[in-house]
Structure 1
Amino acid sequence: MVVSAPHILQNWWQNIRRIHGVEIQGHLGALLSLLGTQCNKVFVTQLMGFWEPSTVTFKFLDFEITPILEEISSLIELPIRGRLPVIPSTICTGDFLSVLDLHIFRSLRYVDGGHIELDYLFQRFGRLEGYYEYQREFECTRGAWEHMRSRVFVMDFLGVMVLPIRSNSIDINILPMVVSIFNDPQRFTLVPMILAEVLRSMTACIKGHNFFGGCSILLQIWAREHFYRRDSQMDYYIGAPNKIESHEDRLQNWVGAPIGREEWRTFLNNVMGDTIQWKFSWVTELAFARTRYFFFIELIGLRGIQPYAPLRVMRQFGVIQDIPL
């Protein structure tokens, strides 16, 4: 699984943020804070042992819980109300290179089985001198290249940190979604896809897949926020503008928090429903519980549809409501 952001991606953000930072933040929200966040692989691995694919929930001694759309939306500061879920589409290698204004003949060999390496794109789009060093590979002006840089960064960020397929390799099918978001930012949302890939990846891993293809860091933050119970009146970070950056500060008073593999295993085997934080203090709106006609919502992920039934977590704090989607 992705444990931390590669240095190349961090350097890319530093190179591009002065010119394109505001635009990129508008599309990625608080997800950019994942660049400075570490994943506890031991914890996430132990947590996945409690995943139950048939109910799409984590099953513990006397309760079940699952991530909900509103929680992910609030954590990453990207809206879902009034937005359409972004729909994945397949793009061929030639069209992918054409959209990036890369010479197909010169660049074709760098796309392998629908994936392209992070370093290849960083050298050409992440560095200020990239256009002039690789000018023969581009079929555009420098102005058009500069315009394209923010889109390529968002694609690479999502491909490495949020929708990974393997280390430092980008799924080229992310590009059409990024183009849609940039072309009509008020219409689409990434939240359902992000959640769908987390759920799908947990099921795939417990069935033997050896790479977690969802956002493991986001899963870690979500789970730890629920496991540390605190008085909402004493949660001084409710108003923190960035829930990912302030996550460690919110949990700094967790006395006796598990640390190693055995401690986490013991904790997860014995945790009870009356000892966890059921509702995030900053989630104030009603949650989607089911559609009008079905008791589940189909989340469309990058690599397929993930049935999603958040009813079990909703019952715990009384906000079940039929939502006509």
Structure 2
Amino acid sequence: MGRLDIRFVPTPKLELKKLWGQLKLDGQQYVLKRIGFMLPTLDINVQSGVMQALAHFWCPETTTFVLGGKFELTPTLEEYSIAIGKSIELDIVEPPIRVDPVVALAEFLSLTKKEIEKVLKGNCQACLISFLIECFENSSIRMRSRIFILAFFGFIIFPFRQNAIDPVIAWTVKQICGGVSFINTILAETFISLTRFKKEKYRTFRAPIELLQIWLFSHLSQFEDNMTVFEMGMTDNPILRFKQIQDQTKSLHYTQWVHLFKDPNSKIFLWQAVWFREVEARLCHGDQKPVPLMGIYGATSYQPLRVTRQFRVLQDVPPPLGPNEFQVQFEKGECYRAELRHHFEAWQKCSTQKLIWPADEPTGRMKSHFAMARYIQYHTILAKILPKIPVVTARHTRQTQIKISEEKAMKAQEKADVLAEENARLRRALKAHSSIDHVASKKRKTI
């Protein structure tokens, strides 16, 4: 049986870019005010090989990627907040528990329930891009902006199915259009999708894969200079930077990425993204307890104390792992009133903490690990929770294979040219030598 990789939903980016071009300036400004810096994700190509490889290194218990069996990295609320250009508010998106998808979409689009039922019934309870385009073309300027945001979040941020969105997303987008922060929701769905994949419950990734890819490459030293952002804004931000340099990203095969993550080189990986520098961060709630994340289809924990070096703080030994108190899968028809109350109360306790950076530049092993001596000496991850990584033989990408073949052919041609030239030289020398012998022979005969 072959390996099972995480799956990414193909998205209709060309159609969305056409809709964007049809918005008036006021409509575009309305959209940008609500989605932040994320519009360039429509031009970002997903490298499925590296992202499929990375997913295998996710550890549900630590909610981190564990590289080399020890080194932990994870997207943080603050990293995503800065990259997207939206602040982390205390108010977070309420999940669509016991929300009727038909009613939610009908109210969002100002249509009747019967009209929406007819559309969804013929498409396995999903809303097709063609229907949203039809609604867009027949709507007012203000409504067009809202429909674009619905399509953007339904396809790019919370992908559901090829060319179709989950109608319940309308409940989420309505809150986003109202100004509610969605950073927590994005990170939640990212973690939940990775955890479902690792626990072999569901393989489809339901979060913005482009953002996760940008986050990963921001932690690779190869792009340290190109990913430096001096003044964060619409014209200079990590998403736009990555769009501009994406053609320079490493061209490695899936198997090569697996081997790289298995044996990470400290010269390749960066603990801190070069564009990220905050003075405060949400690191825990209460006494070193995990931070709650509330998604659309579930909730989970987030443990930034395990990756404080990503905030430029010397990494200390993280607190012991406890039960995932926020882990819940939302099922249709269930209430989850107690779980939600606990979740929201815990989020309210996640006040920001001042980050204390080292007074002096770390040296030796502390510098390479950006960690305290006790972390380097004592930190381990239990073998029973270490991610199971597929056994693969390193291979080159097709593009690299073609390049290698072309280089081999070029070298072979160069060698053939050298041999041909040497052969011609020898022939000329032999001919010259034969001519000399012939003249000498004639002279002897004449004498």
Q: TM-score normalised by the shorter chain: which range applies?
A: 0.7 to 0.9
Matched, 1:305 2:299: yes
1:64 counterpart SS class: strand
Output the amino acid matched with 1:98: E
Partner SS state of residue 192, structure 1: helix
Distance 1:166 1:230, change over 3 A: closer
Structure 2 counterpart of 1:146, one-letter code:
I
Q: State whether structure 2 residue 181 is matched by structure 1 residue 189.
A: yes
Q: In the aligned structure 1, how far is the partner of 2:246 from the partner of 2:125?
A: 40
The structure number with the bigger radius of gyration is 2
What is the TM-score of this pair, normalised by structure 2?
A: 0.62
> Distance in 2 between the 1:259 and 1:231 partners?
19
Counterpart pick for 1:117 among 108, 123, 128: 128
1:174 aligns with 2:169: yes
User: Does residue 206 of structure 1 match 2:198?
Assistant: yes
Relative to the length of structure 1, the TM-score reads 0.83
Q: Work out whether residues 159 and 171 of structure 1, in 8 Å CA contact, stay in contact via their aligned partners in 2.
A: yes
SS in 1 for 2:239: coil
Counterpart CA distance in 2 for 1:307 and 1:5 is: 31
Cα-to-partner distance string for 1:173-199 (whole Å, 9 max, x where unaligned): 22223222333x2xx211010111111
Q: Deviations over 1:285-308 (max 9, x none)?
A: 222211124520110001111111
Residue 3 of structure 1: CA displacement?
A: 5.2
The CA deviation string for residues 115-136 of structure 1, in whole angstroms up to 9 with x for no partner, is 31121111121x3xx35xxxxx
Contact 1:87 1:177 in 2 (8 A): yes
101-110 or 189-198: which moved more? 101-110
Alpha-carbon distance change, 40 to 200 in structure 1, aligned in 2, over 3 angstroms: same
1:221 corresponding residue in structure 2: 214
Q: Take 1:83 and 1:283, find their aligned partners in 2: how far apart are those partners?
A: 21
| 1:261/1:97 CA distance change after superposition, 3 Å | same
Change (3 A) 1:174 1:262: same
Deviations 1:233-253 (CA, angstroms, capped at 9, x unpaired): x86544362211112556777
1:37, 1:230 → 2: CA distance?
Answer: 16
Alignment partners' CA distance in 1, 2:114 and 2:163: 24
Mapped to 1, the partners of 2:131 and 2:65 lie a distance apart of: 39
Query: What CA deviation, in whole Å up to 9, does each residue of 1:136-190 have, x standing for no partner?
Result: xxxxxxxxx433221121111101001112222212222223222333x2xx211
- Alpha-carbon distance in 2 for matches of 1:252, 1:103: 46
Q: Which residue of 2 aligns with 1:263?
A: 256
Which stretches in structure 2 are left out of the alignment for 5+ residues? Answer: 1-7, 317-348, 353-447
Q: Which amino acid aligns with 1:120?
A: F
Please show how residues 52-201 of structure 1 align to structure 2 within 5 Å.
Answer: 52-61=59-68, 62-80=70-88, 82-89=89-96, 90-112=99-121, 114-125=125-136, 127=137, 130-131=138-139, 145-183=140-178, 185=179, 188-201=180-193
CA drift of 1:86 comes to 1.6
2:18 counterpart of 1:11: yes
SS at match of 2:36: helix
Which structure 1 residue ranges, 5 or more long, are not aligned? 132-144
CA distance in 2, matches of 1:74, 1:5: 26
Q: Answer yes or no: is 1:39 the counterpart of 2:72.
A: no
Distance verdict in 2 for CA 1:236–1:165, change over 3 Å: closer
Structure 2 contact 219–269 (Cα < 8 Å) conserved: yes
| Structure-2 residue corresponding to 1:324 | 351
Contact 2:227–2:275, Cα closer than 8 Å, also in 1:
no
Check whether the contact 2:11–2:159 (CA below 8 A) recurs between aligned residues. Answer: no
Letter of the 2:277 partner, please give it: T
Q: Distance in 2 between matches of 1:93 and 1:318?
A: 47
Residues in 1 aligned to 2:110 and 2:246: alpha-carbon distance in whole angstroms: 46
Q: 1:210, CA displacement in angstroms?
A: 3.0
Number of residue pairs the alignment of both structures matches: 302
CA distance in 2, matches of 1:235, 1:71: 13
Q: Which gives a bigger RCO, structure 1 or 2 (Cα 8 Å, sep 6+)?
A: 1
Identify if the C-alpha distance between structure 1 residues 324 and 68 changes in structure 2 by more than 3 Å, giving closer, same or farther. same
Indicate the SS of the match to 1:291.
Answer: coil
Q: CA, structure 1 residues 13+251, in 2 after alignment: closer, same or farther (shift >3 Å)? A: closer
Looking at structure 2, the residues matched to 106 and 249 of structure 1 have their Cα atoms a distance apart, in angstroms, of 42
2:228–2:275 Cα contact (<8 Å) kept: no
Identity, % of aligned positions: 25
